[in-house]
Structure formats: structure tokens, C-alpha cells
Amino acid sequence: MPKSAGANLRTLLRVFYWTFAILVIATGTLAWWFIYRPLPQIDGNTSLPGLQHDVTVERDRWGVPHIRASSVEDLAEAQGYVMAQDRLWQMDLLRRVARGQLSEILGPRTLAIDKEFRTNGFARAAERDATLMDPESRKVMEAYARGVNQFIAQHKKSLPLEFSLLRYEPKPWQPSDTIAISGYMYRTLTNTWERELNRSKVAERAGPDRAKDLFSEEATMDHFVVGDPKVIDDGSQRSAADSEDDDDDDDMQPDTVLKASSSVAPNMAISESDADLTSALAESVQAFLAESKNDIRQGLGSNNWVVSGAHTATGKPLLANDTHLELMIPSIWYEIHLTAPGW
């Protein structure tokens, strides 16, 4: 091989090597900047101006924080700070869902979700409830919000990756945001709201007594698994697992129910126009419900087990709860251990 060719090859290899090294360093730097830099601080000290006394935060081997404080307010402020370290993106996303503000960051694809939650009015209810809280509860909620806001203020240049990708900063946290998220949780655990609206519309036109005749008020799950001594078991009670829908009557649209009702009870004082629930308002409501409907009925069934104190070692009753929640990563719950006098 000629010397010039060998020299050219060595030069090419050097260029390739340094180019590859620069790419690796740049990739590592970007990964640290956007992914690792925002990770929670798990050791050292942090100053929070609102704290009255020192607060200790320890994390166990699973990363669960254990917070010890001298007062409930300090405890709540530290909780807000630590939770924002771990979950700020999830917290901001959920409050946006509850307030109907997703489209501000995600665009028109989430307009339907925003319309649903703004119509439900969880944000309005949260603002109202925040003003009605007793003073002690409000102090705790405000302390928690201060902790969240301290974290946001101290980490504006190292917020979680999602904020960098979407190019926005979270707004200051308010006590009403915490309450609004409970409204979001309520919505995810409620799958009968369309049927309840239909019942209400029928009751409005036909009266509550007629509505009771038209809609079933019992479901198979109204009876205890061990049996209700007041109910004769004639085999008519079907299992919830035997059907995809445990309450077909409730799914009937109000206009269909009222028209059927008029044919059965022609003496009712309901004219054709009165009976027609597909007025401009009702049409928009039904269209909205159809668009936003999320059918989870086949997975219906949060449950509880209760054992009488007569059958326990302590003589006290035992309650086990199994709330069927959405599968989320991270989970809707946040595990934390809080210790303070009076808590």
C-alpha cells in the first residue's frame, strides 16, 4: 500500500474516531441535561423560606419519602416540595385535565376532553370549595401549595423533560388545584353519569314517579354476596359476570323512553313537542355525551370486605377496600410517610 494511501486512511480513521467521540459526549451531555438533571435530590440540604423549623426527609430502598417535621404546616410544605420533585409533570397534567386546559399545551386533539371537564365544572367547584374550607385545613393546603411552588421556583432551569419538550413552564400551584384533581378522580370512578342525566331529563318531563316506573332502581350488585335474608332466591338474580351490561334499561335514551311512555299512558299531559327531548339543548348534550362516553362497564366493581369485631382478635371490625382505579404509570396514588405532632 502506498504511503499516501496509508496516511489518508489513518487521517480518515482519526476523523471518524473524534466524530464518534464528540457524538457520544454530546449525547451524554444532552441526556444528563434533559433527563438526569431534573431527577429528585435524594441527599444533602435544601432551603425552603416558608419553613419554621428543620424538616427531615429520608427515602427508603424503594424511594418512598419519610418526612418528619415539628408542625403540620411544615410537614405539608415539605410534602409539596418532595412530591413536586417526584411527580410535577403528572401533577400539572392532572390539574390541566380537571380544569379543561389540556389543549393549551397539546393542541386541538384534546378539545373534547377539555369540553367535558369544563362542562362538568370541577374547576369551578374546586374554587368554591377552596373558599369554604375551615381555616386549619386551608393552612395545610396553602402550605402544601407553597412547597410545590418553592420547587418550581428553584428548578425553572431543570424542570422534568416533558416541560422542555412542550416548551412551557407550570403555573404556580393553588389549593384549588389539589381539590380539582379529586374531581378528576371522581370522574374516572363514575361511569353512570350519562344514565343519570337521562333519568333526570325523563323525570323533568314525566315526573319522578313515572321515571321510577321507567328506570330500574335495582341492580344485581345491590345484594350481598352471602345472601340477603329478606330476598327469596328464586334464581332470577343473574350474576354480573353473566352479562356485558347489568342495567340495560338505564342505557335507553330519554326521547325513546318518553315516546314509549306516551304510548303506554296516553292520558299523560305531554304533547309531541314536550315529549321530544331532542331540543337544541338536549341534542347538544346527547352529542357531547356520545362523543365523550368511555364505556368501562365490563370492568365495573370496586369492592369492600368487612369482618365484624365478633370475629377478630382485637374485637374491632376490619375493613378491606379494593378500589378499582385506572392503570397509570405513575400511579394515581403517591406513597409517602408523614410524621408531625398532631398528625
pLDDT (tens digit, 9 = 90+) per residue, 64-107? 999 999 999 999 999 999 999 999 999 999 999 999 999 999 88
**What's the pLDDT at 304?**
83
Write out the DSSP string of 77-100: HHHHHHHHHHHHHHHHHHHHHHHT
Which fold would CATH assign to domain 56-190+334-339? Penicillin Amidohydrolase; domain 1 (1.10.439)
Whether pLDDT at 296 is above 80: no
Say how far apart CA 148 and CA 78 lie, in whole Å: 9
The answer, yes or no, to whether residue 125 has pLDDT greater than 50, is: yes
pLDDT for res 232: 62
pLDDT tens per residue, range 141-160? 999 999 999 999 999 888 88
pLDDT at 146: 96
Check the CA dihedral 307-313-315-318 and report its sign.
negative
Quick one: pLDDT at residue 279?
43
Q: What angle do CA 162, 163, 166 make, to 5 degrees?
A: 85
Confidence at 211, pLDDT banded by 50, 70, 90: confident
How many residues comprise the chain? 343
For the cut 50, the answer to whether the pLDDT of residue 245 exceeds it is no
Place of cell 431543570: 158
Q: Which long-range contacts (C-beta less than 8 Å, at least 24 apart) are formed by 137-141?
A: 138/175, 139/73, 140/72, 140/73, 140/76, 141/76, 141/175, 141/178
The CA–CA distances, whole Å, from 91 to 36, 95, 187, 334 equal 19, 6, 16, 11
CB neighbours of 216 closer than 8 A, spacing ≥ 6? 247, 249, 250
Q: What number is the average pLDDT over the span 112-140?
A: 94
